[in-house]
Structure 1
Amino acid sequence: MFGGCGLGLPSFSRRDSPRHGSDDTQKDPVLLVSGIGGSILNAKHKKNGSLLRVWVRILFSNYEFKKCLWSTYNPKSGSTETLNPDIDIVVPEDDFGLYSIDILDPAWWVKCLHVTDVYHFHDMINMLINCGYTKGTTLFGYGYDFRQSNRLDKAMNGLKMKLQTAYNASGGKKVNIISHSMGGLLVRCFMHLHKDVFENYVNRWITIATPFQGAPGCINDSFLTGLQFVYGFKSFFFVSRWTMHQLLVECPSLYEMLPNPKFNWKEQPSIQVWRKYTEGDESVKLEVYKSMECINLFNGALRNNELTYSGKSIALPFNLSILKWAAGTRQMLDIAQLPDSVDFYNIYGIAYDTPHNVW
């Protein structure tokens, strides 16, 4: 788990919140929005409609991830498209959207192995139900294809429909949104692109560990070495860091969490690299790359990056087309304005310093 950009959510037990009664007429609807890696993804076969879970899964996770989720970016559409031409990547809508963000791998033996890293919104969903919320009336979830941009039309339209559904199902009550990590960026993009809809349907917006100005420590590391969600013996059952890396270099969502160059950072995000220049020479030199300088580092580090898919070599360098798209997303995030009628709560942790002392 990593703050501001991961699977992990705070664990809430039933004793954390008092029971307010079970009458739905007294409650505003709640919509839970997941972050990066926080939604189940299925591969849907185009010919026969069969479904295969590709994220999150434990058995054959690396194999199915490579076969179904590895993608390349289409600059015309602004989306990343799977390399497998026979499938579409879909998010299940079961249980009013809650299923896709609850337990990401419900296999019975996952619990036996204590692999609770895949229990995403599970504790919060149970807590809210214990407080009297009802699935489909006052409790809903929104999962989405987290490979994609936070401002892609498909994600925006899906969120719009979910807000309308929650509003209507609750008898015309405005919605309280609870978003986690990158989900907060998606909500903020929606707030900018559909401000009237946001104002009409949203009562409160509560966001947890959202990297509004970027997540430099996590994202810089992801571009250079990949991303790892679980450690220790659990990692043998999960997607490898390198396999995840080959996906992320083609994901607009990742580029949209690069550090905001216009933000007045208390301490400028940077990458420090010890480099050896001459073979056989044991001496090394420390190089420091600040926010914008990191682009040159990524370009150099990924210039020869490639993967093999169906017997073909596919080049995956640092993608400047995605970087351009992400710059447009950053502009939206910077100018988005919260409507006066909506209350906003930003929850973040201060128990641990981030790599750049940013909360």
Structure 2
Amino acid sequence: MNSPVTPPSASLTPERPHVRLGFVALSDAAPLAAAALRDMGRRHGISIELCRQPSWAAVRDKLLSGELDAAHALYGLVYGVQLGIGGPRADMAVLMVLNRNGQAITLSSPLADAIERGASVKDALASLGRPPVLAQTFPTGTHAMWLYYWLATQGVHPLSDVRSVVIPPPRMADALVEGALDGFCAGEPWHAVAEARGAGRTVVHTSEIWPDHPEKVLACRRDFVALYPNTARALVRTMLDACEWVDAQEHRLEIADALAASGLLGVPRELIASRLGPVEGVAPLRFFDGGAVNYPRVSDGLWFITQYRRWGMLSGNGDDDAVAAAVNQTALYAQAAQEAGVALPAERRISTLCDGRVWDGSDAKAYLAGFDMRA
């Protein structure tokens, strides 16, 4: 992946040489930042313009309007739009996965103290004497699904026992400081910021809920792939280069420096770096891992659909496997990875989540039927 710059052949020349990429102020936008700041698209025939967005809803809306060509996006945002859950419906595409792990759940200091003293999560939340207010970042997003899954394993119903609210990631720490929240699930560096401000503490990392879970993806509308296949492939090639670069530990401080800029995260470098690098006892935030991170497995997309059905967000007898196969652009990714010399992992993998349940994508209906706590 480090061969000299050579122009693409005429048949592979990107149809759109300038690509507008959306992102939200999160540490896992690091590959986009690296790609833009280091001009990694040039060798693949594209230039990248980073477009910071205030919320995931803004990312959704600008992808749909065409103001953004593609974006760093929550895996579940793409599927929510595809399925028309809680917003406009459109045919969407997951081009690749950008990272695994790296998210967390932080609770207010009094709740975290109670749990540290031995109280169960259920009892600690009940001690408030009212429904706890817990925030996530998008109704169908990864953070909502991690929060709901974890609460259910603690005997807390995420719909009836909790007031779940949506807040943009950069607002999370402020809202916790202000007492508007009892906790939140989001990406970094906002947990590090909350702890630095004395507002709360991280009680669980999402890699403890689903080890090596998929998280952010490179997303676009499906018609973008159809109209500009060479551009889409060049974008995947570029982001593979960027993910490989960012995944090297010797580059983590360098990218933390870059992310600290006001136009990106606007957070002190040390707070970004503290969780962009290894966290003791926690599966690491990974962007590449030899390409194992980046393949857009259909089974990963299907898992999110099982959770929408579990929590009553999706009903009916749709063909969930077909939806996931259409959204996740495995053929385009495989082409780009082959050109880059990146190995393709197996389509299915076996994952054991924090409740001991195993997900491999082989029988989504049976998996869904096995949950005790549902909507």
Larger Rg over CA atoms? 1
- TM-score by shorter chain over 0.5: no
Q: TM-score, normalised by structure 2?
A: 0.29
- Larger helix share, 1 or 2: 2
Q: TM-score, normalised by structure 1?
A: 0.30
